[in-house]
A and B are shown apart, each in its own frame.
Chain A
């Protein structure tokens, strides 16, 4: 009865049913046609853009400002897209200067003044030059970001680096506005530390997304960050004050001060977050680590907000003291705990399930169906079924969960190497509540 209806194609194009639900596949072109779908969509985008530009220009008229005055050097900030170049021009002062003499003595090739402008020119090429050689270094086929974690992490690193350079372009404004930053050196480290944090965390997260081996990629970055944090905290808050030559009694008296207590509390909380996270990712298996870290981080964040809020409300002087003591070392004192928590989160997160991440690569060639022995005896499989694709689209559970033999015939013929049986086993394991599913080693 139902099969008759299927043969008559009664169900075609109904929601929940695949288009080609019969033995012979038609020549119907899948996908959204250029006309009218894509043309309409493009028109909508164009009209929306024009409307946004109209509204912006009606609401915000860019001011012209005073006329240029040749006798006054104004304080200006270039448009945002050139800030990075200006930031590099400013940071170039740390680089060596001098004059390169003309080797020929004719004045044709020199002398070259090596100054800030010279370095600014050359440093601006740093983000541009790699772009020119990129396609000749990185060969192969186009890939999704999760399949190329190194390239993607490098990209994140460069984005953060350009962002840091742009931020450094207004370094004097930042120091004027937030004097507790301590000085220009703190901002110079923006070029190194935050991009590294962003790049490493992105790399760890993308490895996780791609079902790669994880253990050391959680332990090493978190351990190094914790070590650097500890060294910085020990040096700044213990060794340097002790070196100052005061007696132990002075220190004991100082420890009674409320602002010192607030600082100690904050640093100890950061240390606790780092230590607990490091312990969890190093000595516990993934499930236990997550079970420990989720409630811990939630409570820790609430406590941090409460404590800092209390200090800021009740003892503004202590809050200022804490800011002035921590912000000059913000890259390690603030940055490392944030990096540790984010790295642990992206490194431990439930990766996209195989369902989402692996099955969505299917482009419906249908080879898996041909190879599958189960579909030959299943009544509702009617020849046109596509195991992986229909499972992904939830249109039809390709092979019912418990009848799959996990023979891997489908993976063997899959041109994209989609491991359908891994997915089935993972789903079964999940259904049984076994720990194997959460181990994240489905692919290894």
Chain B
């Protein structure tokens, strides 16, 4: 008769079996060790706050302004989340069609009308779409404002100086990317603002300093044409807005924040 061995700690055994199966295939322990070591040795200041790192008891009245970079990042996250939702309903088609009354319109504008719950929506309106679009709009504005103010804070505290020069350059690039985010974003609805801004953009691209072929190349690259009448710029801008800019921007933002983490926040005494 087999002796019944009471199983001690059945939950633990189950866990060990389950996670052991995973660990045999994906050995995570060495990686965790390396990470912990780097946290504990190389980046000893990592979990420390600013005031702890510099052993400050005083709170300078500028410190509230030190949250502006974080605010712009949080606003960016909100635009990403709401932007993903908007992407389900938005139609990036800017080619002109005409209503039975002969009024020009386009699918981008009509899909926006459905998202916004406007009366000219040809399909079913998107429930709470106006909230999602409003959040995308306002958090984008908040992000741009926060980026500007963040840059001013860094400028006025002299935080761009050694050793943070490269991070400042990265920040300038991120500022330009943010402006491009905004610009490509308000070209997407296919409304009158979009058309007018695309006209200006195409003209400025064509006039870019240099020989004429360069401007034509840039206009073709960015706006898919050199004339706002024929250029299908909305699809092009959609691709910039939802793929290229988020990809490059997110990578650079992570790099930007990683450098802040490594170099610390400036403490101008």
Contact = CB atoms under 8 A, between A and B. Distances in A.
Given A37-B49, A121-B207, 16 more contacts: A33-B48, A45-B71, A53-B135, A64-B109, A68-B196, A70-B96, A70-B195, A71-B104, A76-B195, A78-B193, A79-B183, A135-B161, A135-B164, A139-B162, A147-B268, A360-B58
* Band of interface residues on A: 35 or more
Interface in A101-147: 102, 107-113, 115, 117-118, 120-122, 128, 131-132, 134-136, 138-145, 147
B234 to A, nearest CB: 9
A138 B135 CA distance: 39
Interface of B: 47-58, 60, 62, 67, 70-71, 74-75, 78, 94, 96, 103-106, 109, 112-113, 116, 118, 130-131, 133-135, 137-139, 141-142, 144-145, 148, 151-152, 155-162, 164-165, 168-169, 172, 175-176, 179, 182-183, 186, 189-200, 203-204, 206-213, 228-229, 266-269
B54 to A, nearest CB: 7
A75 B136 CA distance: 25
Contacts of B158: 138, 140-143, 148, 151
Interface string A24-54: 0000011111110110001001100110111
A435 to B, nearest CB: 30
B116 A73 contact: no
Contact of B49 (A31, A52, A151): A31
Contact of A61 (B49, B106, B134, B152): B134
A307 interface: no
Contact of B192 (A65, A108, A152): A65
27 contacts: A29-B52, A30-B51, A31-B56, A34-B47, A34-B52, A45-B74, A57-B133, A63-B116, A64-B112, A67-B104, A70-B96, A71-B104, A76-B192, A78-B186, A81-B144, A81-B145, A112-B209, A117-B206, A120-B204, A135-B164, A141-B268, A142-B157, A142-B266, A144-B62, A144-B268, A145-B156, A155-B155
Given A61-B134, A67-B105, A118-B209, A155 B156 contact: yes
Contacts of B48: 29, 33-34
B47 to A, nearest CB: 5
A78 B197 contact: yes
B47 A66 contact: no
A89 interface: yes
A251 interface: no
B193 A76 contact: yes
A58 interface: yes
Interface SS of B by simple majority: helix
A51 B202 CA distance: 38
B165 A136 contact: yes
Contacts of A132: 169, 172
A269 B229 CA distance: 57
Given A33-B52, A60-B134, A135-B165, A49 B74 contact: yes
Given A46-B74, A54-B135, A112-B209, A134 B189 contact: no
- 9 nearest CB pairs, A to B: A57-B134, A31-B51, A68-B195, A117-B207, A76-B196, A135-B165, A31-B52, A67-B105, A142-B268
Nearest to A18: B57
Contact of B133 (A42, A62, A65, A361): A62
Contact of A30 (B55, B105, B160): B55
